[in-house]
Each structure stands twice: as structure tokens, then as C-alpha cells.
Amino acid sequence: MISTKSRVWSVTLALAVGLTASACTGKDAGSGAHANASSSATAAGTPAEGGSKGSTQGSGVFYDGFEQQADNGWKTAVNDSTDSRRKLSLTQMEQQPGGLLQRVSSPTRDGHYALQATVPHQLGSFRSEVARPPVPMGSEDWYGFSIYLPPTWQNDPQGNILAQWHAIVDTARTAGDGTGQPPVALSVQGNQWRLKMHWNTQGPDFKGAGKGTRTFNLGSIKKGVWVNFVLHAKWSHNSDGLVQLWQDGHQKVNYTGPDEYNNKQGPYFKIGIYHPEWKSFNAAKYRQDTAATKPITVYDDAIRTAQGSASYKDVAPH
């Protein structure tokens, strides 16, 4: 582990995506090189739960259970810069009846509330996410969260990114040119969980001779239950990068190698829904998407992040 000062965030965000029944708390209820799909991890000794939004609890753990309406360091990300709602804070979004980001009392995994993210079924509506601040390049970070896919979830071949670690790209780019791909993204495509990676050992975005990509198939989704994820990463465009992913306590990815672009700044974590094929300039793809005929909704909860000398048990949903 990197010997930087340990800094633990614990945020609870209900993310409804089909996790296995063993992850359900009773409330509404890969493969490839360097990938290990059979090993498991021990999740004992996770941080204590409870407390009000924004409270700090022992060992520097910060916990956000969405028990109160508050921004708590989250930045909202709704559609693109032309959408006026992008200027709203999380608190303001939550106060809008029927808004794209809502604090809901069901389903929940931790506490009494969770976060509901919705993307309406219409061209130009494609993103409802909340984001944390970026981390330093070269840092070692842990992320834990739970996702709930409702029983009405639509199995869409176009896919939905439900959590992503996005690079800060300073280079000029054209919308839809593919150069802004997130270094790491967790998605559901059809009825399968996938983790997809993009990197560039030479350039600051996904363009040029140094770019590369990997996709890990994590298995079939299950609707109506919570799924627990833990991601451990060392962010680097060199061979010393690291990405490990556990799903419901079972390690699905154990990758070493580049996992970022050649930038000075590391990625920022976002969670919610991102469906890029519904962007305004993708009208043809939107019309082709006959598998999705209604709004997309997902729930996020039990979000914790830690940096430095942390471990699996500090962030694993419990």
C-alpha cells in the first residue's frame, strides 16, 4: 500500500442494481489476464454504521446515510452543460418532486434512506449521477458501495454505466469522439455485469499509440436484491497500476498494469446512471434502443471510500 496519510470517507448511497440474495438485508429486498474469478475476501471489522449525515465516526471514517438532505461534498452531474438542472446542488435536486436524484425510504440497505437515480426515457436525457472530488495520481484508493436493480429493470444491450472512475482530461475534444472514456467503469450490459478499463501509457486521453482497453465479465445480474462491490485501485498510466474488484465478497478482478491516462490528476468517482447512447447527437442509437421503453431507475447505498493505509474491511458494505 502507498504510505500516504490514510483518509477514509464513508458515504451511504443506495444503488439499486441486482446483487445476490445473500447481500440483501431484508429491506426490499470476469475473466481475462490477471483476473481471478474464484477467490474470496473476508469482510470482518467494517466501520460502524449509524449517525447523522455528515457525522464523523471513529478511525476517521466519514459516513453519509442520506438520513438528512445535505450536499455532503457530492457534486451533481445531470446530462450535459446545457441542462439548467446541472447547476442544482444535491440538496436542491432532492427537494424537487419527481427529480432525477431523490432521497427515498425504500428500498434501502443502510439506515432509513437511500439515493434513487433516474434517467427519463427521452432523447437528450442520459445522465443522473453524483460525484466525489478527484484523487491524486499515483494514490491508492478503496471504494465500497451497494447497487440495487429494481424488479422492473430493463435488460438493455446498449448498457448503462452505474459507477465510474472518470479522468480529468484537459485536452480539447469533440463530443462523442470517444477520447473521454472513463479509465474504469462498472456497467450492466444486457443481463451481465461488466468492468471495463481504458488507459493510455503515453497520452492524456483515449487516443494514440499508448491507449489500451480491457473488459471483465462479472456474471449475470439479479433484480430486486442488493449487490455489494469493493474496488481497490492504484492509479497509474504505468505498469505499477492496480485494479481489484470484489462482488458480494468474491474477488472477480485482480489486474496489474496501466489503469489511467498520462495526466497529473487522478480520477474522480461517480455513481448513478450514465446511458451515453441517449445523448442528443445519438438520435439514431436512441431510436434503435427498443429494449428500453421507460425511464431507467437505480438505487445506491452503503458508499464508502478510503485512501492510503486502508483495507477491504474499511469500505466493504456490511
Rounded mean pLDDT, 189-202:
98
Residue 4 predicted with pLDDT over 80: no
- Residue 80's nearest CA partner among 146, 16, 126, 135 is 126
Indicate the domain borders of the chain.
7-315
The pLDDT > 90 percentage for the chain reads: 69
Q: What is the pTM of this model?
A: 0.83
Rounded mean pLDDT, 183-203:
98
Rounded mean pLDDT, 255-259:
98
Residue 46 predicted with pLDDT over 90: no
Rounded mean pLDDT, 128-142:
95
pLDDT of amino acid 213: 98
Tell me which of 10-14, 82-86, 168-172 is least confident.
10-14
Architecture of the structural domain at 7-315: Sandwich (2.60)
- DSSP per-residue letters across the chain: ---SPPEEEE-------B--GGG--SS----STT--SS-B---TTPPP----TTEEETTTEEE--S-S---TT-EEEES-TT-GGGGS-HHHHHTSTT-SEEEESSS-SSSS-EEEEEE-SSTT--EEEEEPPP-BTT-EEEEEEEEE--TT----TT-EEEEEEE----S---TTSSTT--SEEEEEETTEEEEEEEEESSSSSS-STTEEEEEEEEEE--TTSEEEEEEEEE--SSTT-EEEEEETTEEEEEEES--S-S-SB--EEEEEEE-GGGSGGGHHHHHH-TT--S-EEEEEEEEEEEESS--HHHHS--
pLDDT grade, residue 70 (50/70/90)?
A: confident
pLDDT of amino acid 58: 35
Rounded mean pLDDT, 175-187:
92
pLDDT grade, residue 110 (50/70/90)?
A: confident
pLDDT of amino acid 31: 31
Q: Mean of the per-residue pLDDT values for the chain?
A: 83
pLDDT of amino acid 62: 62
Tens of pLDDT along 276-314? 999 999 999 999 999 999 999 999 998 999 988 888 998
Residue 23 predicted with pLDDT over 50: no
Residue 50 predicted with pLDDT over 80: no
Residue 7 predicted with pLDDT over 60: no
Residue 32 predicted with pLDDT over 60: no
Q: For residues 82 and 42, what is the distance between their CA atoms, to the nearest angstrom?
A: 45
Q: How far is CA 54 from CA 65, 67, 311, in A?
A: 9, 10, 22
pLDDT grade, residue 177 (50/70/90)?
A: confident
Rounded mean pLDDT, 80-90:
92
